[in-house]
């Protein structure tokens, strides 16, 4: 090969490397943005038959969906009446959500993903906003930490003692989760068990 042809070959090889590396870093960058900033990409609406997972979560088309603006009692959580009678308010909350979506087409409009990578969404049936109905019927708290949207509905449910508000003592789900996790932390610490 002559010197001219060698230089020409090297120049072509250099451009191939540049193009290859550019494509490689573009794909890696896209994946990094998608994984680190999942809310960067808009999500499409979901539609179909939903299944109640607990009082504030649905499964729709295989996707875990958390209803935006509410927090319902945990499935294992119980509430108490004045005479220390415990009743399974978490199970009843899920039952109420199950009734709201049973045999109905559900449409969910994603807002963003939460820290657990679940889709936070406003979901609707023919009857209206599912989260709003759960709070109105007294089976969920308005999650005022993230949204003030259902505060009036919660106040009405409390006033008329609907759903969980029939109980004398209702621990908010976020405190129930916190107490439960601190209990397990102290128990594992007591026995020297670490994560």
- Which residues of the chain register pLDDT less than 70? 1-15, 21, 25, 27, 29-42, 82-83, 181-195
- What CA dihedral angle connects 194, 74, 95 and 125, to 10 degrees? -110
The pLDDT of residue 193 is 47
- With tokens 């759960």, the residue in question is 134
Which parts of the chain fold into alpha helices (H)?
3-36, 89-101, 130-136, 151-159, 173-190
Q: In sequence order, what are the beta bridge partners of 48?
A: 106
pTM: 0.72
Taking CA atoms, 78 is separated from 4, 74, 93, 168, in Å, by 83, 8, 11, 12
The pLDDT of residue 136 is 97
Query: C-alpha angle with apex 142: 138 to 143, nearest 5 degrees?
Result: 140
The pLDDT of residue 194 is 40
Helix, strand, or coil here: 50?
A: strand
| DSSP string of 129-155, one letter each residue | EHHHHHHHTTSSEE-TTT--TTHHHHH
| pLDDT, tens only, 84-136 | 788 899 999 999 999 999 999 999 999 988 888 789 999 999 999 999 999 99
The pLDDT of residue 141 is 95
Residue 152 Cα to chain centre, angstroms: 23
Q: In sequence order, what are the beta bridge partners of 59?
A: 51, 64
Pick the CATH number of 46-181 from 3.40.718.10, 3.40.50.10860, 3.30.70.20, 2.40.50.90: 2.40.50.90
Helix, strand, or coil here: 51?
A: strand
Tell me which residue of 54, 58, 40, 41 sits closest to 121, measured CA to CA: 58
Sorted by where each begins, the domain ranges of the chain are: 3-36, 46-181
The pLDDT of residue 174 is 85
């Amino acid at each position: 090969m002559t010197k001219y042809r060698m230089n020409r070959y090297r120049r072509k090889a250099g451009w191939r490397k540049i193009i290859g590396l550019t494509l490689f870093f573009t794909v890696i960058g896209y994946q990094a943005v998608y994984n680190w900033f999942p809310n960067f990409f808009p999500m499409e609406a979901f539609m179909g038959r939903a299944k109640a997972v607990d009082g504030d979560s649905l499964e729709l088309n295989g996707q875990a969906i958390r209803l935006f603006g509410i927090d319902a009692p945990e499935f294992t959580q119980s509430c108490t009446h004045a005479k220390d009678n415990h009743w399974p308010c978490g199970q009843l909350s899920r039952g109420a959500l199950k009734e709201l979506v049973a045999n109905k087409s559900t449409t969910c409009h994603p807002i963003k993903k939460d820290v657990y990578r679940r889709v936070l969404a406003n979901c609707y049936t023919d009857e209206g906003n599912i989260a709003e109905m759960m709070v109105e019927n007294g089976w969920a708290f308005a999650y005022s930490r993230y949204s003030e949207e259902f505060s009036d509905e919660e106040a009405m449910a409390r006033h008329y003692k609907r759903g969980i508000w029939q109980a004398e003592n209702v621990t908010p789900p976020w405190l129930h989760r916190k107490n439960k996790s601190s209990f397990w932390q102290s128990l594992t610490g007591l026995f020297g068990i670490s994560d």
